[in-house]
Amino acid sequence: MRNTRLLGIVSGVLLVALILAGCSKQAPAPTSTTSKASSTTGSTTSTKPAPATSTTSTAAAKAITLKTIVYTPVTDPTNDTYRWFIDTVNQRGTGKLAIQLVGGPEVIPAASQAEAVRLGTFDMALGSPTNYTQAVPGYANTVLLSKLTGAEERESGYYDYVLQQHKQKLNAYYLGKGTPSAGGIYYIFTVSKISTLNDLKDKKLRAAQLFVPFFQSLGISAVTLPVTEVYSALQTHVIEGGVTSILSAVDGKWYEVVKYAIDAPFLVGGSANLINLDKWNSLPKDVQDLLIQAAKDAEAWGHNNDKQNTANAKQKLANFGVQFTKLSPDDEKQYLRLAYESSWDKVKSVVPAEYDQLRKLLRQ
């Protein structure tokens, strides 16, 4: 009995010693687990912040990427200046800023792209004002009328007007002209020869919304179609021609379905280099400055490049068999006058309070 009691006491002492030894071991520090969780999920389970690591430092220094879209197929020549802008930003912004061109209307329909920028679905876009006329009517109805360079628009105050319109009504920052032109770039292309203005009456011709007043003044039956549907509409004789820039006529292979063009170019390129305003406000000042300067440089590059490209495109179309026909001097004068004045009449009807201001800003 005595031996049994002694054995029990010894066993109890050993058990207590083992428990105390286990409690005296230092518990594993939670910092490594917490730090790892914080870096991946942003959770904080410790009262002390996790120490900075090389991973978080690298993330902070990571280049900003902006995703953008264009309203015509990416290879369309109307995107030349914008692609130059993107390349310039990516070169100058190495390690700091990069712009990724995701695609064209196959990604988001052209008519929905301005809304995508407004909502921030895309950071940027080369926007066609014909697709968001209701949002910024003063700009959308005067952009093609401008005979000024990008620099001249900044000097005249027109740029500031357009910038404020986009900020207030589209939640977008207007960086500048997306397709600067050196002169008139739009031609009316037809399947049959046009010799006089009377020949245009009742013709079914495709027109972007901004050209409708001009077509109506000539007695043309204006048909609005997406750019991507024009070729097939010409091919199937749903329409008898249309208006487009001479560069787009080449890229869209209009020469396969039309044979004539009125040799009296009018109006200029009209698109906007846009970035979502919330995204713009979130960018560091040096990144904003980089984008502004690149946009200005792109305007100058595009203006200088346009003249040669236009001449080359006209020659290509002629080589493909498109005939450029001249109107009589009187008809041509009337044609060009209507191209501009019908557009100004539209401006007066949609933004009457801004009409005089806009003519002054555009020096017309």
Task: Report which residue type is found at 327.
Answer: L
Tokens of 266: 């009018």
Give the residue from 134, 133, 132 showing the smallest Cα distance to 114. 132
User: What is the side-by-side order of every strand in the sheet holding 186-190?
Assistant: 221-223, 204-206, 241-245, 186-190, 260-262, 323-325
Task: Report which residue type is found at 98.
Answer: A
Contacts 24+ apart (CB under 8 A), 47-50: none
User: What is the average pLDDT across 218-246?
Assistant: 93
Q: Is the pLDDT of residue 21 over 60?
A: no
Q: Is the pLDDT of residue 158 over 90?
A: yes
Tokens of 302: 């595009």
pTM exceeds 0.85, yes or no: no
Q: Is the pLDDT of residue 94 over 80?
A: yes
**DSSP codes joined into one string, 140-168:** HTTGGG--S-HHHHHHHTHHHHHHHHHHH
Are both 61-182+270-307 and 186-268+314-352 of the same fold? yes
Please state, in angstroms and rounded to a whole number, the distance separating the CA atoms of residues 16 and 14. 6
In the CATH scheme, what is the code of domain 186-268+314-352? Answer: 3.40.190.170
User: What is the average pLDDT across 54-83?
Assistant: 77
Please state, in angstroms and rounded to a whole number, the distance separating the CA atoms of residues 32 and 105. 48
The two most distant CA atoms of the chain are separated, in Å, by 135
Q: Is the pLDDT of residue 248 over 70?
A: yes
User: What is the average pLDDT across 311-318?
Assistant: 94
Confidence category of residue 61, pLDDT binned at 50, 70, 90 = low
Tokens 């397709």 found at: 179
| Burial of residue 34, with CB atoms counted within 10 A of its CB: 0-12 exposed, 13-18 middle, 19 or more buried | middle
Q: Which residues contact 161 (CB under 8 A, 6 or more apart)?
A: 138, 139, 357, 358, 361
Contacts 24+ apart (CB under 8 A), 277-281: 277/166, 277/167, 277/171, 277/172, 277/173, 278/120, 278/171, 279/66, 279/120, 279/123, 279/124, 280/173
DSSP state of 284: -
Q: Which CATH architecture group holds 61-182+270-307?
A: 3-Layer(aba) Sandwich (3.40)
Domain boundaries along the sequence of the chain: 61-182+270-307, 186-268+314-352
Bridge partners (DSSP) listed for residue 200: none
